[in-house]
Amino acid sequence: MEQHFGLMNASRNDLDAWWMPFTANRAAKRDPRLIASAEGMTYCTPDGRRLLDGISGLWCCNAGHNRAPIVAAIQDQAARLDYAPPFQFGHEGAFALASRIAALAPGDLDHVFFCNSGSESVDTALKIALAYRHARGEGGRTRLIGRERGYHGTGFGGISVGGLPANRKAFGHGLSGIDHLPHTYDREQQAFSIGEPEWGAHLADDLERIVALNDASTIGAVIVEPMAGSTGVLAPPKGYLQRLRALCDRHGILLIFDEVITGFGRLGFAFAAERYGVVPDMICFAKGVTSGAVPLGGVIVREAIHAALMQGPERAIELFHGYTYSGHPLACAAGLATLDLYRDEGLFERARTLEPVFAEAVMSLREEPNVLDIRTIGLAAGIDLAPSADAPGARGYDAMVHAFNVNDLVIRISGDTLSLCPALIVSEDQIGELVEKTRAMIRAVA
């Protein structure tokens, strides 16, 4: 008998086998939301419904889905070189992509260490920070500082410096020697902000409190998202990142930008660091570097950090860290093709042009039922809905399900907060469609 493995033929037992990440598995498998194909701004379900993708896959398909040049590059690379070991060997694609990424980064961020995801990029950056301190004879500077409501992936390093308690509470204490800056959101001061809110730059000064408590000689690095995406799109207050950079410089602390979400055009520039005129010591990236087509992540490192580790015997390994799939040939081919698309179609510039159009459209939702706040920056928006009295998170979940089943729309939720982040290829008509579908969904769960 012929076996069928297509999604339309999946039995209940077939669905049970995959333990889905960050998913209410039992609820999802009772009424699965299956996606069969994608193109441009849309998904297609197994039964032929076309869905507008309102979240760029998962903040990652910045150039849209199944773009022909990226597909062709992956196919060509798979036919020529499927894999090459990254330990002590290399291949042309990895060197070429690292050079292209370094050229996009600001200042002297000239060296790229490849990994496979945003989570790995964060853990890599934290390890490089500690290795740098060790190389400089500053082995006591091991304390790491994150920020409340920050999301830095799901490795033990990332959940430790991250500021989302639900991501930590089941997994023990995590890394020791961790502190957190306060988050930058205050609804009373910032409600319905377009772009960077006026209030909040002073919150960076809490770093002085942490320094006074622990002494700068114990602190290795600070890591923040320029825009906190996963928690519901929290833009940095005007002057906040510049202030944080100055404080880190004053106390000799490394500053790491987690740009896994903000990198590659989400805020209208290759990196948010460029938008804000701030050069961090490291930038973590992933997601948009391949437009989501193949997993790839990495860390861009300033020259001084790299140089400090390029010491000792020439034949000795300088950094005992890496992954089997660092700089994977297919991922690098996808990355090079994606960067070509961003350049040739002017997608970063397009995002800057569309930012006010997107903001005005999304802000038209402010009078809809249960909308408590809306925040927009770049091509990203967070919409806070009032929680149900007896079930926090239920309204957001119901909105996500209704959007998929009824409104032919894919959105992202975090509790009762909805996130919209369309691909950089989105048209003005599609922005209007996205907002109207969101309006209908909000009214349906009122």
Residue 309: closest CA among 95, 129, 114, 96: 129
Residue 431 within any structural domain of the chain: yes
Tokens standing for 108? Answer: 């002297």
Residue 435 within any structural domain of the chain: yes
Residue 316: closest CA among 47, 88, 31: 88
Q: Do 326 and 366 reside in the same domain of the chain?
A: no
Q: Which residues pair with 382 in a beta bridge?
A: 375, 419
36 secondary structure, DSSP code: -
User: What is the distance between the alpha carbons of residues 413 and 417, in angstroms, rounded to a whole number?
Assistant: 6
Q: Do 74 and 51 reside in the same domain of the chain?
A: no
Q: What is the pLDDT of residue 9?
A: 56
Tokens standing for 376? Answer: 């927009």
Residue 2 within any structural domain of the chain: no
Alpha helices in 205-320 (DSSP H): 206-214, 240-251, 272-276, 303-309
Residue 18 within any structural domain of the chain: yes
Q: Do 366 and 340 reside in the same domain of the chain?
A: no
Q: Which helix (H) or strand (E) holds 258?
A: strand 254-258
User: What is the distance between the alpha carbons of residues 204 and 393, in angstroms, rounded to a whole number?
Assistant: 30
24 secondary structure, DSSP code: -
Domain that holds residue 19: 7-63+346-444
What amino acid occupies position 86? P
User: What is the distance between the alpha carbons of residues 192 and 266, in angstroms, rounded to a whole number?
Assistant: 20
Residue 368 within any structural domain of the chain: yes
Which residue among 329, 344, 359 closes a domain? 344
Burial of 397 (0-12, 13-18, 19+ CB in 10 A): middle
Burial of 369 (0-12, 13-18, 19+ CB in 10 A): exposed
Q: Do 221 and 181 reside in the same domain of the chain?
A: yes
pLDDT (tens place) for every residue of the chain, 446 residues total: 334 445 555 555 689 999 999 999 999 999 999 999 999 999 999 999 999 999 999 999 999 999 999 999 999 999 999 999 999 999 999 999 999 999 999 999 999 999 999 999 999 999 999 999 999 999 999 999 999 999 999 999 999 999 999 999 999 989 999 999 999 999 999 999 999 999 999 999 999 999 999 999 999 999 999 999 999 999 999 999 999 999 999 999 999 999 999 999 999 999 999 999 999 999 999 999 999 999 999 999 999 999 999 999 999 999 999 999 999 999 999 999 999 999 999 999 999 999 999 999 999 999 999 999 999 999 999 999 999 988 999 999 999 999 999 999 999 999 999 999 999 999 999 999 999 999 999 999 99
Q: Do 298 and 431 reside in the same domain of the chain?
A: no
Which residue among 344, 364, 381 closes a domain? 344
Which residue among 344, 367, 392 closes a domain? 344
Q: Do 368 and 436 reside in the same domain of the chain?
A: yes
Is residue 191 helix, strand or coil?
A: coil
User: What is the distance between the alpha carbons of residues 399 and 314, in angstroms, rounded to a whole number?
Assistant: 58
Tokens standing for 232? Answer: 């519901």
Q: Do 335 and 400 reside in the same domain of the chain?
A: no
Q: Do 284 and 371 reside in the same domain of the chain?
A: no
Encode 49-87: b = buried (16+ Cβ within 10 Å), e = exposed.
Answer: eebbbbbbbebbbbbbbebeebeebbeebeeeeeeeebe
Residue 298: closest CA among 33, 97, 88, 79: 97
| 433 to 47, 52, 82, 387, 422: CA distances (angstroms) | 22, 8, 40, 25, 11
The residue whose two tokens read 């769960």 is 445
Residue 1 within any structural domain of the chain: no
Is residue 405 helix, strand or coil?
A: helix
Residue 422 within any structural domain of the chain: yes
Q: What is the pLDDT of residue 14?
A: 85
Q: Do 258 and 371 reside in the same domain of the chain?
A: no
Q: Do 78 and 193 reside in the same domain of the chain?
A: yes
Q: Do 207 and 316 reside in the same domain of the chain?
A: yes
- Our count of domains for the chain comes to 2
Q: What is the pLDDT of residue 10?
A: 52
Residue 110 within any structural domain of the chain: yes
Q: Which residues have a Cβ under 8 Å from the Cβ of 388 and sit 6 or more positions away?
A: 394, 395
CATH number of the structural domain spanning residue 37: 3.90.1150.10
Q: Do 350 and 338 reside in the same domain of the chain?
A: no
Is the separation of the CB atoms in 378 and 266 below 8 Å? yes
Is the separation of the CB atoms in 91 and 331 below 8 Å? no
Which sign does the torsion angle of CA 168, 170, 176, 177 carry? positive
CATH number of the structural domain spanning residue 310: 3.40.640.10
